[in-house]
Structure 1
Amino acid sequence: MEIQDKENAPTNVVGKPLDRVDGPAKVTGAARYSAEISVPGTVHGVLKTSTIAKGRIASIDTSKASQEPGILGIFTHQNLPKPAKTPKQIEKWRAAQSYLPMQDDQIQYAGQPVALVVAETLEAATQAAALIKVTYQADAPIDSYLDPKAELFDPQKIQQGKADGHVVRGNPQQAYDGAAIKHEATYVHAINHHNPMEPAATLAVWEGADKLTVYESSQNVTMHQGNLAELLGMPREQVRVVTKYIGGGFGCKGSFWPHTILTVLAARAVNRPVKLALTRQQMFTGVGHREDQEQTLRMGATAEGKLVSLVHTKKATTSPWDNYTESNGKVIDMLYACPNYSTVYELARANVMTSVWMRAPGEAPGSFALESSMDDLANQLGIDPIEIRLRNYAEHDHSNGKPWSSKSLKQCYKRGAELFGWDKRNPQPGQNRRGRMLVGHGMATATYPVHSSQGTARVRLFADGHAVVEAGATDLGTGTYTVMTQVSADALGLPPDKIRFELGDTRLPTAPGSGGSVAAGTVASSIMAAAQDVWEKVVKMAVADKKSPLYKARPADVKVELGRMFLVKNPQKGETLVAALGRSGQPDIEGSGTGKYGAGYETQKFSPIEANENSDDKEKKASGHSMHSFGAHFCEVEVDPDLGTIRVTRWVGVHGAGTILNRKTASSQMSGGAIYGIGSALMEETFRDPNYARYTNSDLASYHVPVNADIPDIQIEFVPEKDPYINLLGVKGIGELGMVGVAAAVANAVFNATGRRMRSLPMTPDKMLEALRLPA
């Protein structure tokens, strides 16, 4: 089925740069985010958090706080109602952190909730929280894997048991020892915090004792519903979670955090709807972070630069209870052709909350090490950075031996080099100036896997020519409302303004959350599957209707495309779905369907009756392929040799990511990924005091993120790519791809400008000045 670029089609809006359908609501203030929602009787909650990182609560004095007017309740570990279960008692806990505070007097990390005040007004709750006096018995905390008191351990399982911490392929050590060219380097990544514009917020509303609605800033309403039901010992259907709009998340809103259940328990105790929003400072200690980490990569190659061995190790900090760490090694294992590979992770328990996935988890820091080392290898051999990548181009996925479902990386290299003017690059480091500024050019490869997922959708087509389409997905602010409206419009042959797409509610059909680049492909495919269900029902109506051009046709001989039914052998003979439905006398017709990865649109039959035949064969065929998006970044920097400042002055990104549902929102996603990566490369760093394990820059005044003045014009292109295996529309997802390789592209440009290799993120002026003082 041709979705894009079909001439003279009834709608044909998939792929077009349609303006955001949710734009008017956002610019007029009609869009309501979780902290802006109020129901009758809403009161306010404020958290009091610990000032120590390890120890116990000796006493809590709430006497002054309780005398403030409007106080409805002050909850501590002594009087907070207990949940039916704690996370550790739940067999399949679907969240990053398994520790729930305020269950006892123990303090495990700085900023841990120790009290929750509920009051009639936010001001009263804030004042009362400030008046609570907590006395601690403090112990010396461990702040990171670098702490002398820290003990590194080798987890057998990482990512909460979902991935093996040890991977060995071939004989990497022997191959490295015998390699003609050897390169070894260590790379350091600072703690990063997500810092979305919208802080995390919860509004908990009880109806009696057995029915709960939670308005939550969540990237995954289904996950939140399941966790709440488990913790409360309630049936899932009695818990509703709603998230209509999100002001950014980047991963921190993709997990379940303590403030949500604490708010729910307090709301039940005071018998009022309770709203709680984290402060900016509490966002640093309440919703996870990207871990501080150190990687060492040893690279062995032939004299011609062909890789023979990659040996990767990693050290990182984790919490006292969980073993989560980013899987950096996955990208190193699959991106280039290399017969021998190994990775080992070591973690140290410290008094910090559990770290969590942050945009492109694993791939972003892993690519910094790999792509920087690839440039070092090219420099050592005196060849172009693109050439070293082409010499090691993987024609199949060496990590699992599977062929790619599709791969357009060579096209990305070529087009990116053309747009950037790579052929004009001076390969000699430190030789290019613009006035007194050192100028450098660098590039790096981007890739991100297509994570398998599935979801459901419901389509209701009305005889008057409009439709309501529903899926329990979420929109991070990146365009889900818009692209799913486009998919629905083409599936039903209606103009986009005749489609109302609804999401963000667990009362809607279950869909995956927005994270890991899974939402676009899965939800779009589920809409297509639901539309096929509608097609099948309307085709049956038409072939039984004497007034239809399709009367007495075999349903298997009818094809549906862009909302029009027609005979395969005589395409002129047909009519629209709406026309057939309108004659039937039915006001509407409904269909539902499940979309998932593994049923590609070229292997999918679009005759309605045959649409779901041989699905097992299609899934088996798809599972035999490795599914990834790819791309290439090209960067220009200016380095001030006197001040050590690094400024990105040009950026080009070219990507191959399957079907692009909306050119405008997709380009915005990729630009956002580049900006996010530039921030990580040059300025983002959270400082944790080594003596007290407390964050010292937990606000946006001292945790620096890029602003407009830091970012040049960004040029984004997509190479055409069809993936016949991946899902019904060939959609791969792009949310993470734009950030992978960005830090390395900046570092490679800095090396070209200065001849100095920067291996510690962020590359701040002090580090640059120190490097410039050293001999090249």
Structure 2
Amino acid sequence: MTTTGARHTGAALDRVDALEKVTGRAKYAYDHGPADMVHAVPVEASIARGEIVQVDVDAMLKLPGVLAAIWHGNAPRLATADEDLAVLQSRRVAYRGQYVAVVVAETLDDAREAARTLRVEYAPEEHDVGLRADHPKLYRPDGVNAGYPTDTEQGDPDAALASAPVVVDEVYSTPAEHNNPMEPHATVAEWHGDGLTVHEPSQHVSGLRATLASLFGMPPGHVHVLSPYVGGGFGSKAKVHPHVILAALTAKQVGRPVKMAVTRRQMFAATAYRTPTIQRVRLGAEPGGRLIAVTHDVFEQSSTVAEFAEQAAVPTRTMYAAPHRRTTHRLVRLDVPTPSWMRAPGECPGMFALESAMDELAIACGIDPVELRVRNEPAVHPESGLPFSSRNLVGCLREGARRFGWAGRDPRPGMRREGRLLVGTGVASSTFPVSRAPSSATARAEPDGRYTVRIAAADIGTGARTVLTQIAADALLTMPGLVVVEVGDSALPAAAVAGGSMGTASWGTAVVRACEALRERLDAAGGVVPAAGLEAAADTTKEVGAQQKYSRHAFGAQFAEVAVDADTGETRVRRLLGVFAAGRILNPKTARSQFVGGMVMGLSMALLEESIMDREFGDYLNRDLAQYHIAANADVRDVRAFWLEEEDPHLNPMGSKGIGEIGIVGTAAAIANAVHHATGVRIRDLPIRLDKLLR
């Protein structure tokens, strides 16, 4: 073995797959084209609720190049109780845009034309697509996303609020938002006898393989999912969506490989979104700002076919000390697509409400917003009482204030003016839980002195391949250039999802343990690698399950400066600065990219992103990037990310915390707080549009 004594984690190693990507050699799902491949185009429901009466498939089969038209009347049966995945299994329509048929043709143009002209007869019913806090069908779900309890309560928050000297009681709301990764969803499906091969951009190839095997009634080993490169995900490619099942079903029906691409417009119905939220936050405090009571009540939506309850009140359970507290979640099932994960689910919309309310409390108490947060720092987790494995929120606030130039800030709104521009600054805290899930990996010593590490992880643009290479090199006491890491293939050892900011922690643990086991085998062999190579494997189930009881979280603080045109209401974010405490940073280059990318997405959330529902029509109106606005280069002026060095022995072998999501969490609130400081107008309903400022 080559022993260097170097510690490669912590170094700014360039991405190991950079050359493949910039030269176009990296093949994404849509790039694959098996021999004899045909094209499939789905047909979306044009009603929001009702039943399909008839589909004119016979007329389609007379069109040039058309091979098949499939609907629930002639589709193969699937073995599933999950109505979201029961594609073409029922005549019921649960939301506008639901797949009700698919047309297969020799060319994409022929398939598109056939899908456009396919006649579907419906029996429409009255629909309901409107979320409101007084909806008569609101109910208490059994739990919320990620296994958290629906509600929590300590003390007597209502009485404490009634007697508190200072009270903030406001309602905040966030709209539905849609993931729009650069690479749209696309599937190439091919059957080989009783085996299925799928090319699909996925954040969880192991999970996708298991779902497809169950749906089609086959052993998991008969399904092969390939996803070596993914052009962004943000949560939208973590779960199995109907288009994957539709492509596999269609390929089975026609007996030829099928390619199906989800258009940008179709993604607004077919590949999930962030639920809209209505959130009431009540804060009761002493005149000096110390919290007495905190309540956070969340109202959100799901579909009639599946329940997804986002955990928007959960971060409030972690953030600040208060003896009296309550958090609740209420859900209504509407005639809409099922929401799902979008970068920092729960924490992102929930912290917008909490951190906006904290800014309002700071003003009501006449206390600096940074100082208010410091005064309410808890010694242990405010609800569970567990010790924090590490908690450096105060350090992030102090360091961020120093770097941003917060000292000397005039707290009065509307006082700083530059010509027509009103200038203001704001701050917000961030948090995200630290998790890891069981994963497996193998490490192999090759006879030429190189090493191959295999794990069914996913690199969705985060640099996972690169960081795992560094982790493996350190565990093997070798150089990164001698390590090849293979990911994105369900034939590799099963791995946890690339989501919840737990990918590196989960996969890295498995890689370290596999490399350690390989070193033991090599030591036993006297360092001699046989011609056939030498391999070792590791499975972390037991290690993750036996982890000691600590409250594990990453923390951060974002600072924003905005300029608002006093005449037009146009808002520009001049500066964004974030400081984070996220354990040991394994690669500062890729980490900075993640932090900055999260803050840019938070900027987009604050000022631009909004999926607008037409309640009469029952559909989102702005179903493309011409009308669903996201931040462009001109919107992003100066975004900087820093971090504190943090040693935490209670996490994983690398000492790392997840960083993919915390960057977005506090950004929208920091910007909204800055807008209030600039203008005196408090925006509690995102996004911050011109019409909301010009009152």
Shift of 1:760: 0.3
Q: Distance in 2 between matches of 1:153 and 1:427?
A: 40
2:562 is equivalent to residue 637 of structure 1: yes
The equivalent residue for 2:80 is 86
2:162 is equivalent to residue 177 of structure 1: yes
Question: Residues 426, 655 of structure 1: CA spacing in aligned structure 2 closer, same or farther, 3 A cutoff?
Answer: same
The equivalent residue for 1:75 is 70
Shift of 1:587: 5.2
Matches within 5 A, 1:670-749: 670-749=595-674
The equivalent residue for 2:434 is 450
Could you list the per-position Cα deviations for residues 478-508 of structure 1 after superposition, in whole angstroms to 9, with x for gaps in the alignment? 1011111111122223322221110011110
Could you list the per-position Cα deviations for residues 236-258 of structure 1 after superposition, in whole angstroms to 9, with x for gaps in the alignment? 11111111111111111111111
Q: Distance in 2 between matches of 1:302 and 1:760?
A: 27
Q: Distance in 2 between matches of 1:163 and 1:501?
A: 34
Query: Is 426-435 or 671-680 further displaced after alignment?
Result: 426-435
SS of aligned partner of 1:125: helix
Shift of 1:18: 1.2
Is the contact made by 1:15 and 1:662 (CA closer than 8 Å) also made in structure 2?
A: yes
Q: Distance in 1 between matches of 2:478 and 2:113?
A: 54
SS of aligned partner of 2:352: helix
Shift of 1:423: 0.7
Query: Is 164-173 or 467-476 further displaced after alignment?
Result: 164-173
Question: Residues 258, 587 of structure 1: CA spacing in aligned structure 2 closer, same or farther, 3 A cutoff?
Answer: closer
Shift of 1:63: 3.9
SS of aligned partner of 1:744: helix
2:682 to 750, 753, 757: 757
Q: Distance in 1 between matches of 2:334 and 2:269?
A: 14
2:528 is equivalent to residue 581 of structure 1: yes
Is the contact made by 2:302 and 2:339 (CA closer than 8 Å) also made in structure 1?
A: yes
The amino acid of 1:86's aligned partner reads T
Shift of 1:623: 2.8
The equivalent residue for 1:571 is none
The amino acid of 2:290's aligned partner reads K
The equivalent residue for 1:130 is 116
SS of aligned partner of 1:517: coil
SS of aligned partner of 2:509: helix
Matches within 5 A, 1:493-642: 493-542=477-526, 580-581=527-528, 586=531, 588-595=533-540, 619=546, 622-642=547-567
2:452 is equivalent to residue 468 of structure 1: yes
Matches within 5 A, 1:236-385: 236-385=220-369
The equivalent residue for 1:658 is 583
Unaligned runs of 5+ in 1: 1-7, 89-96, 543-579, 600-615, 771-776
Q: Distance in 2 between matches of 1:151 and 1:247?
A: 41
SS of aligned partner of 1:497: helix
Q: Distance in 2 between matches of 1:596 and 1:661?
A: 23
Is the contact made by 1:101 and 1:112 (CA closer than 8 Å) also made in structure 2?
A: no
Shift of 1:185: 0.5
Q: Distance in 1 between matches of 2:209 and 2:158?
A: 47
Q: Distance in 1 between matches of 2:35 and 2:77?
A: 26
2:149 is equivalent to residue 164 of structure 1: yes
Q: Distance in 2 between matches of 1:128 and 1:368?
A: 45
The amino acid of 1:697's aligned partner reads N
Is the contact made by 2:436 and 2:503 (CA closer than 8 Å) also made in structure 1?
A: no
The amino acid of 2:180's aligned partner reads N
Q: Distance in 2 between matches of 1:654 and 1:625?
A: 23
Shift of 1:364: 0.6
Q: Distance in 2 between matches of 1:48 and 1:123?
A: 14
Q: Distance in 1 between matches of 2:402 and 2:412?
A: 20
2:95 to 105, 109, 113: 109
Could you list the per-position Cα deviations for residues 528-586 of structure 1 after superposition, in whole angstroms to 9, with x for gaps in the alignment? 100110111122233xxxxxxxxxxxxxxxxxxxxxxxxxxxxxxxxxxxxx336xx55
Shift of 1:339: 1.7
Question: Residues 769, 597 of structure 1: CA spacing in aligned structure 2 closer, same or farther, 3 A cutoff?
Answer: farther
SS of aligned partner of 1:732: coil
Shift of 1:70: 1.9
The amino acid of 2:647's aligned partner reads K
Shift of 1:598: 6.2
Q: Distance in 1 between matches of 2:511 and 2:330?
A: 43
Q: Distance in 1 between matches of 2:564 and 2:539?
A: 52
Is the contact made by 2:132 and 2:299 (CA closer than 8 Å) also made in structure 1?
A: no
The amino acid of 1:45's aligned partner reads A
Is the contact made by 1:525 and 1:596 (CA closer than 8 Å) also made in structure 2?
A: no
Q: Distance in 1 between matches of 2:427 and 2:543?
A: 33
Q: Distance in 2 between matches of 1:330 and 1:71?
A: 51
Unaligned runs of 5+ in 2: none
Q: Distance in 1 between matches of 2:498 and 2:437?
A: 11
The equivalent residue for 2:19 is 24
Question: Residues 160, 634 of structure 1: CA spacing in aligned structure 2 closer, same or farther, 3 A cutoff?
Answer: closer
Q: Distance in 1 between matches of 2:80 and 2:133?
A: 30
The equivalent residue for 2:195 is 211
SS of aligned partner of 1:530: helix
Q: Distance in 2 between matches of 1:597 and 1:524?
A: 15
Is the contact made by 1:472 and 1:503 (CA closer than 8 Å) also made in structure 2?
A: yes
The root-mean-square deviation of aligned C-alpha atoms, in Å, is 1.7
The equivalent residue for 1:549 is none
Is the contact made by 1:596 and 1:727 (CA closer than 8 Å) also made in structure 2?
A: no
Could you list the per-position Cα deviations for residues 700-732 of structure 1 after superposition, in whole angstroms to 9, with x for gaps in the alignment? 000000000001121111110111011111111
2:127 is equivalent to residue 141 of structure 1: yes
Shift of 1:595: 4.0
Q: Distance in 2 between matches of 1:653 and 1:298?
A: 27
Question: Residues 539, 101 of structure 1: CA spacing in aligned structure 2 closer, same or farther, 3 A cutoff?
Answer: closer
Q: How many residues align?
A: 693
The equivalent residue for 1:577 is none
Q: Distance in 2 between matches of 1:109 and 1:739?
A: 30
The equivalent residue for 2:387 is 403
Shift of 1:590: 1.1
Could you list the per-position Cα deviations for residues 176-199 of structure 1 after superposition, in whole angstroms to 9, with x for gaps in the alignment? 222121110000101100011111
SS of aligned partner of 2:683: coil
The equivalent residue for 1:33 is 28
Shift of 1:314: 1.5
Could you list the per-position Cα deviations for residues 197-240 of structure 1 after superposition, in whole angstroms to 9, with x for gaps in the alignment? 111111111111x2111111111111111111111111111111
The amino acid of 1:594's aligned partner reads D
Q: Distance in 1 between matches of 2:15 and 2:77?
A: 43
TM-score by length of structure 1 reads 0.87
The amino acid of 1:745's aligned partner reads A
Q: Distance in 2 between matches of 1:755 and 1:44?
A: 55
Q: Distance in 2 between matches of 1:461 and 1:433?
A: 65
SS of aligned partner of 1:176: helix
Q: Distance in 2 between matches of 1:598 and 1:376?
A: 44
* Structure index of larger Rg: 1
Is the contact made by 2:278 and 2:298 (CA closer than 8 Å) also made in structure 1?
A: yes
SS of aligned partner of 1:193: coil
The equivalent residue for 1:767 is 692
Is the contact made by 2:4 and 2:478 (CA closer than 8 Å) also made in structure 1?
A: no
Shift of 1:697: 0.6
Q: Distance in 1 between matches of 2:528 and 2:672?
A: 59
SS of aligned partner of 2:660: coil
The equivalent residue for 2:415 is 431
Q: Distance in 2 between matches of 1:538 and 1:258?
A: 46
Q: Distance in 1 between matches of 2:294 and 2:370?
A: 19
Is the contact made by 1:11 and 1:489 (CA closer than 8 Å) also made in structure 2?
A: no
